[in-house]
């Protein structure tokens, strides 16, 4: 599994979540909402250091990761993070790994 983050999304994290080198961004399964992979669950994002990262990628010293306990959510899919140009918000897509 891979985490793929677009340049626009990386800029969004720097501006909206004020990421700096040494920070960590966690993608996690949360109850509520919906996703193409699971009804009743959606993807959340928070700035917190990892506990037990299963998948991770580093961009400019900021770690982006998924914990082992959230691996089930992705069902062998890669996570792609981009920006919705109309809303200027994060948008996620999942591609079979």
Q: What is the 3-state secondary structure (H, E, C) of the chain?
A: CCEEECHHHHHHHHHHCCCCCCCEEEEEEEEEEECCCCEEEEEEEEECCCCCEEEEEEECCEEEEEEHHHHHHHCCEEEEEEEECCCCEEEEEEEEC
- The mean pLDDT value for 31-37 works out to 78
Predicted local distance difference test score (pLDDT) of residue 75: 83
Q: pLDDT tens for residues 57-92?
A: 999 999 999 999 999 999 899 999 999 999 999 999
Domain membership of residue 75 as a residue range: 3-96
* Counted domains in the chain: 1
pTM of the model as a whole: 0.92
Confidence of residue 40 (pLDDT cuts 50, 70, 90): confident
């Amino acid at each position: 599994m891979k985490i793929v983050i677009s340049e626009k999304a990386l800029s969004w994290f720097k501006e909206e979540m004020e990421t700096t080198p040494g920070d960590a961004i966690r993608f996690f399964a949360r109850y509520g909402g919906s996703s193409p992979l699971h009804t009743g669950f959606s993807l959340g994002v928070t700035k917190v250091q990892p506990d037990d990262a299963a998948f991770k990628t580093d961009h400019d010293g900021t770690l982006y990761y998924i914990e082992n306990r959230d691996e089930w959510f992705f069902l062998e899919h890669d996570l792609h993070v981009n920006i919705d140009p109309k809303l200027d918000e994060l948008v996620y897509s999942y591609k079979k790994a």
